[in-house]
Homo-oligomer: A and B are copies of this chain.
Amino acid sequence: MRDVAVIGVGCTTFGEKWGASFRDLFVEAGALALDDAGLAGEQIDALYVGNMSAGRFIGQEHIGALIADYAGLAASHHIPSTRVEAACASGGLAFRQAVIDVMSGMEDIVVAAGVEKMTDVGTGTSVDTLTGAADREWEGFAGATFPGLYAMMATDYINRYGLTREQLAQVAVKNHYNGARNPIAQFQQEITVETVMKSSLVADPLRLFDCSPITDGAAAVVVAPLERAREFTDCPVRVLASAQASDTIALHDRRDISTLDATVEAGRRALGQARLQHRDIDIVEVHDCFTIAELCAIEDLGFCAKGEAGRVTEEGITAIGGRLPVNTSGGLKACGHPVGATGIKQIYEIVQQIRGEAGKRQVDTKIGMAHNVGGTGATVVVHILGAY
């Protein structure tokens, strides 16, 4: 089993990108990552791409081949190119498959990309497509939407742990603060608790500013055997752990609807693989598709006790400058959430922080963790990356 390093990263800006097609997005992200690694396309041995639902968003499946083709590597080099899908965790899983591929010795230089073009359909189609990440038969057909499912988790959490509405809003305030310092973020504006509290109700208790947006975007990273990493970069970032866990697809089948057992398990496995403890982690990118999701993630990953994350957030512990900065990128909330790209963007952020290239949101980082969730927690993938 070979050690693996990230040798290059690239990301488009995130947003409602009316002028860019699905193809434009991944070509841009891929070109940025190759440029960052100082690689020519023909040096790439294989591609993995995370994408949730291009079949419904743009009528296109077979995304692996499409990407190889538009990267100019299909007809000329016939490189293997594989799409991986696990709803909003598709990007994280594409990264994991790239890592496993290099570990196996099958390939050396592998690109993991993530892409989603969500704004080419109307809101109804968009909401219905995203419901495909939940249990279509027992949730979707009954009328549940994603905001509705996370609202049930939030309601349960509030009732059991006494979270205040203001504490929940603090997650969005922090992430917008960070997003305003991230040039790729969809939202570049700081907000206040009042902004959240006065925004329209989406699914009680979640308001508009508790929800991550609909976003177009793509991100790409290049991985290589650690022993070869310095051929390509002066600052390789080592992959210290890659762990994945599943849970029931339907929320109502869970042991506890406000604890994501797959997060607990993937986090535990990742720390075990890396032989690290919580205090060794400098920053975490967590999957804050809704504000409540960030609080659950911090707890379920083991960074604080259950019911404590609201207070931890309120006290600034998870802010830039705090003891454990969470979502320095702005998270899904402010950076935006092109579902298939998000997991790769998290890696992009951690790598930038480790390299000291995070500009106004820079945090002293030797080791960072990325936590990517599919659905309401049926798939979770956790990666730990470290300076080398």
Q: Which residues of A contact B (CB under 8 A)?
A: 1, 21, 23, 52-53, 55-56, 58-66, 68-69, 73-75, 78-87, 93, 96-97, 100-101, 103-106, 128-129, 131-137, 140, 242, 244-250, 253-255, 261-262, 265-266, 374-375, 378-379
**Contacts known (A69-B248, A75-B247, A247-B75); A58 close to B136, Cβ less than 8 A:** yes
Structural contact, B379 and A65, CB atoms closer than 8 A? yes
Residues of B within 8 A of A69 (CB): 246-250, 253, 378
Structural contact, A246 and B79, CB atoms closer than 8 A? yes
Task: Choose from B60, B66, B106, B253 the contact partner of A103 (Cβ within 8 Å).
Answer: B106
**Contacts known (A75-B255, A83-B86); A104 close to B1, Cβ less than 8 A:** yes
Residues of B within 8 A of A137 (CB): 21, 23, 60
Residues of B within 8 A of A104 (CB): 1, 100-101, 103-105
Cα–Cα distance between A69 and B201 once the two chains are bound (Å):
32
- Nearest chain B residue, comparing its CB with the CB of A83: B85
How far, in Å, is A211 (CB) from chain B's closest CB? 19
Structural contact, B62 and A374, CB atoms closer than 8 A? yes
- Nearest chain B residue, comparing its CB with the CB of A141: B59
Residues of B within 8 A of A262 (CB): 74, 78
Cα–Cα distance between A62 and B253 once the two chains are bound (Å):
16
How far, in Å, is A376 (CB) from chain B's closest CB? 10
Q: Classify the secondary structure of A's interface with B.
A: mixed
Task: Choose from B21, B56, B97 the contact partner of A55 (Cβ within 8 Å).
Answer: B56
Residues of B within 8 A of A65 (CB): 86-87, 246-247, 249, 374-375, 378-379
Count identical subunits in the complex: 2
How far, in Å, is A384 (CB) from chain B's closest CB? 15
Structural contact, A378 and B79, CB atoms closer than 8 A? no
**Contacts known (A74-B378, A75-B247, A246-B74); A132 close to B60, Cβ less than 8 A:** yes
- For the complex with contacts A55-B129, A73-B246, A75-B254, 16 further pairs of A-B residues with Cβ separation under 8 Å are A1-B104, A60-B137, A61-B87, A61-B132, A62-B85, A62-B374, A65-B375, A69-B378, A74-B246, A74-B378, A78-B247, A78-B266, A82-B96, A85-B85, A97-B97, A103-B104
- Nearest chain B residue, comparing its CB with the CB of A254: B75
